Amino acid sequence: MTALAFFVVTLIGSVGAGVLGALLGLGGGIIVIPLLTLGLGINIHYAIGASIVSVIATSSGAAATYVRDRITNLRVGMFLEMGTTVGAISGAYLANVIPTRALYIIFGVVLAYSGVIMFRKRKTEVPVDVPDSQMATKLRMHSSYYDQAIDKHVAYKVAGVFPALGLMYIAGVVSGLLGIGSGALKVPAMDIAMHLPIKVSSATSNFMIGVTAAASAGIYFERGDIQAIIAAPVAIGVLVGAMLGTRLLVRLRGSVIRQIFVLVLVFICIEMIGRGLGIALP
């Protein structure tokens, strides 16, 4: 395959990754890494480097719209970023130490767990019975947003502040280690632990994953893991895809998003565990 052909194939695949990423608050890295390693035989370190770039691209490309639409809960996002960024630096360093295979398995297992829980809640549009949280009140995290799909202003309360922070550290480590946005860990953490409405979780996650990725990107870049010819089509493609994806998100109902999310999770889970066990999957 010529360099140009590689560029074009990567570009097109990245657009798909971008659409899916913006839609689900995932950042596309989850699709880009298998595309590069399994599909195109690229060294995994370069794939991770390119993926980190795509994560930032998705977050910056999509976040501006969400923030303008006021769905993102900025306070929750910033507070949790304290955990993810520290985790991301830890993860980037650990990348040289931990056998990558073991991580794929751990990640796959965590994903499966999140998928099961989200599957059980899939009919719920807006969370009910949210427990009172003094911490969340003190930190002024409760908020509201306008849901275009159901044409209502939705007020919501926030809970589980410190458990979520702990989960975010782990999400950060995984992000720094695997070069993914860990939206798959962040969205369920906000959805389940903090009881945020799914759209707020997605939008806030989209905002957060870029910041988290930036924390490890510097380390990868200086290490030489971000190669221009690989990262360039990924960055362009994912950006374009993310802009398309955001148009769709505000129109879809929350439960549809959750169902798509679960399907994607299952696919990723099977692929990840397969990789960890050394099985090559199509």
243: tokens are: 């802009």
Regarding 173 and contact with other proteins (CB under 8 A), the answer is no
**Residue 213 Cβ, how far from other proteins at the closest point, in Å?**
7
Regarding 217 and contact with other proteins (CB under 8 A), the answer is yes
**Residue 139 Cβ, how far from other proteins at the closest point, in Å?**
7
**Residue 259 Cβ, how far from other proteins at the closest point, in Å?**
28
Regarding 222 and contact with other proteins (CB under 8 A), the answer is yes
Using CB under 8 A, pick the residue from 15, 25, 26, 73 that binds other proteins: 73
d(CA 112, CA 98): 22
CB 54 within 8 A of CB 27: yes
* Non-local CB neighbours of 201 within 8 Å, separated by 6+ positions: 25, 186, 187, 190, 191, 194
Regarding 231 and contact with other proteins (CB under 8 A), the answer is yes
Regarding 190 and contact with other proteins (CB under 8 A), the answer is no
Using CB under 8 A, pick the residue from 126, 219, 256, 260 that binds other proteins: 219
Regarding 162 and contact with other proteins (CB under 8 A), the answer is no
d(CA 156, CA 251): 20
Number of residues engaging other proteins in binding (CB under 8 A): 69
d(CA 210, CA 100): 23
29: tokens are: 């890295």
Site string for other proteins, 238-257 (x = CB under 8 A): -x------------------
Closest CB to other proteins among 10 and 114?
10
In this structure, the chain runs to a length of 282
Of 14-22, 79-87, 157-165, 178-186, the window that binds other proteins (rule: CB under 8 A) is: 79-87
* Non-local CB neighbours of 42 within 8 Å, separated by 6+ positions: 36, 230
Regarding 157 and contact with other proteins (CB under 8 A), the answer is no
Regarding 230 and contact with other proteins (CB under 8 A), the answer is yes
Helix (H) or strand (E) holding 96: none
Closest CB to other proteins among 221 and 267?
221
Q: Residue 154: left (phi > 0), alpha (psi -120 to 50), or beta?
A: beta
* Non-local CB neighbours of 22 within 8 Å, separated by 6+ positions: 28, 58, 61, 62, 206, 241, 242, 243, 244, 245, 246, 248, 249
d(CA 7, CA 187): 31
Using CB under 8 A, pick the residue from 158, 167, 189, 235 that binds other proteins: 235
37: tokens are: 């390693």
CA dihedral 19, 21, 27, 28 (to 10 degrees): -70
Using CB under 8 A, pick the residue from 226, 268, 269, 273 that binds other proteins: 226
Regarding 96 and contact with other proteins (CB under 8 A), the answer is yes
Closest CB to other proteins among 53 and 262?
53
**Residue 119 Cβ, how far from other proteins at the closest point, in Å?**
30
Burial class (CB in 10 A: 0-12, 13-18, 19+), 279: exposed
Interface ranges with other proteins (CB under 8 A): 1, 3-4, 6-7, 41-43, 45-46, 49, 53, 56-57, 59-61, 63-64, 67-68, 70, 72-75, 78-79, 81-82, 85-86, 88-89, 92-93, 96, 139-140, 142-145, 210-211, 213-233, 235-236, 239
